[in-house]
Amino acid sequence: MPELPVWFEVGSLVVLGLILLIDLLLVVRRPHEPSMKEAGLWVAFYVTLALVFAGAMFAFTGHEFGGQFVAGWVTEYSLSIDNLFVFIIIMARFSVPRKYQQEVLMVGIIIALILRGIFILLGAIVIEQFSWVFYIFGAFLLWTAWKQAQDEGEDEEDKENPLIAQIRKIIPMSEKFDEGKLRTVVDGKKVFTPMLVVFITIGLTDLLFAVDSIPAIFGLTQSPFIVFTANLFALMGLRQLYFLLGGLMNRLIYLKHALSVILAFIGVKLVLHAMHVNELPFINGGRHIEWAPEIPTFVSLAVIVVTIVVAVVASLMSSKAGTTPVDARLEDDARKSLSESE
């Protein structure tokens, strides 16, 4: 398969980096809770930007790379939506003022992008050197899909990450937030505010989600550039989606099941690809298994989109969708956070 033009990769990363920087400066200079209209416009902007980028991929690099990006972006976006519920829990647990939640999400997303970038580079190196790793990725995604289909997601919300607990013990930290500041003065001494722990929690939480999503997208493309840009667009649109869909997450009751189907499908795709490029001596004598079919990119894209659409429509039409006790408690915590900040 031909490689992507270097000028396209470098130019794209420069432009996307500038957009991300401008977005960060806007958030830092004017902290506020966006309205539904503002959040909707930003989500539409980032979705449109991703589609424009996809169009550029089709025009300058060909339909195969363009299709891989679209499939990867849709997959990462759909898997990232699952992060929103966890982000809501984190914001409520630490009582982050609504006014500063945009800044928290933005910094957390930048931390996540840096960590994911490292993860992607390491993954690309491993894949290039050891084709058998596709067997491991495929098996891992199938196991994750099974766990996701069974997970109710209600047992983890009150547990604090051990690393975060240790940070609280080691680093001097104030009890309350000081607006959006990272450091403040208490009794004449400079200490960190809880904002530091929130930043780290958001970044690490997203990295944990990447453990599932990065192998999944490597099942759709082996281009590190496409993997990274798909993740970049998914995360750039995630922050405003948090404010737009936060109140509707409890209605998407079949989303987890849809994501488990997607992960299982990509897991099978990875195993088939591993068989097709097999080099393990104890499987087929170390020879490629030619009869193992390679699932085309556009078939993968169709399966992913149809699965998500069916899950969303079924969720919205279901009489079971509603506010759970956990959601109600989170909403109460959010209201308390808001009233304290005012």
DSSP string, 113-179: HHHHHHHHHHHHHHHHH-TTHHHHHHHHHHHHHHHHHH--S-SSTTPPPHHHHHHHHHS-B-SS--T
- CB-side neighbour CA atoms (13 Å) of 163: 9
CA distance 31 to 34: 9
Tally of structural domains, the chain: 1
pLDDT value at residue 275 = 84
pLDDT value at residue 69 = 92
Residue 51 has pLDDT above 60, yes or no: yes
pLDDT value at residue 319 = 60
Q: Which domain holds residue 202?
A: 6-341
pLDDT value at residue 165 = 64
Residue 326 has pLDDT above 50, yes or no: no
User: Which CA distances in Å does 339 have to 96, 194, 310, 327, 335?
Assistant: 11, 18, 38, 18, 6
Rg over alpha carbons for the chain, rounded to the nearest Å, is 21
pLDDT band at 53 (very low <50, low <70, confident <90, very high): very high
Alpha helix positions (H), 184-296: 195-218, 224-245, 255-276
Residue 158 has pLDDT above 50, yes or no: no
Specify which of 28-32, 50-54, 199-203 reaches the highest per-range mean pLDDT: 50-54
Specify the DSSP element, H or E, that contains 180: none
* 135 falls within a domain: yes
- What does the pLDDT look like over 142-155, one tens digit per residue? 887 888 777 654 44
Residue 156 has pLDDT above 70, yes or no: no
* 80 falls within a domain: yes
- What does the pLDDT look like over 219-234, one tens digit per residue? 888 888 999 999 888 8
* 1 falls within a domain: no
Average pLDDT over residues 264-268: 86
**In the block, which residue shows the tokens 């550029």?**
56
Cβ-proximal residues to 286 (8 Å cutoff; 6+ apart), any chain: 278, 279, 280
- What does the pLDDT look like over 206-265, one tens digit per residue? 777 677 677 878 888 888 899 999 988 888 877 777 777 655 666 777 877 887 888 888
* 141 falls within a domain: yes
pLDDT band at 27 (very low <50, low <70, confident <90, very high): confident
Q: Are 145 and 212 in contact (CB under 8 A)?
A: no
Residue 333 has pLDDT above 50, yes or no: no
pLDDT band at 340 (very low <50, low <70, confident <90, very high): very low
Residue 21 has pLDDT above 50, yes or no: yes
pLDDT band at 337 (very low <50, low <70, confident <90, very high): very low
The residue among 259, 295, 96 whose CA lies nearest residue 180 is 96
- pLDDT > 70: percent of the chain: 81
- What does the pLDDT look like over 81-108, one tens digit per residue? 766 766 776 777 777 777 777 777 777 7
Alpha helix positions (H), 1-62: 6-29, 36-61
- What does the pLDDT look like over 164-196, one tens digit per residue? 566 667 777 777 777 767 788 887 788 888 788
Mean pLDDT, all residues of the chain: 77
User: Which CA distances in Å does 276 have to 32, 70, 272, 290?
Assistant: 52, 24, 6, 6
Comparing 31-40, 61-70, 267-276, the range with the smallest average pLDDT is 31-40
* 100 falls within a domain: yes
* 291 falls within a domain: yes
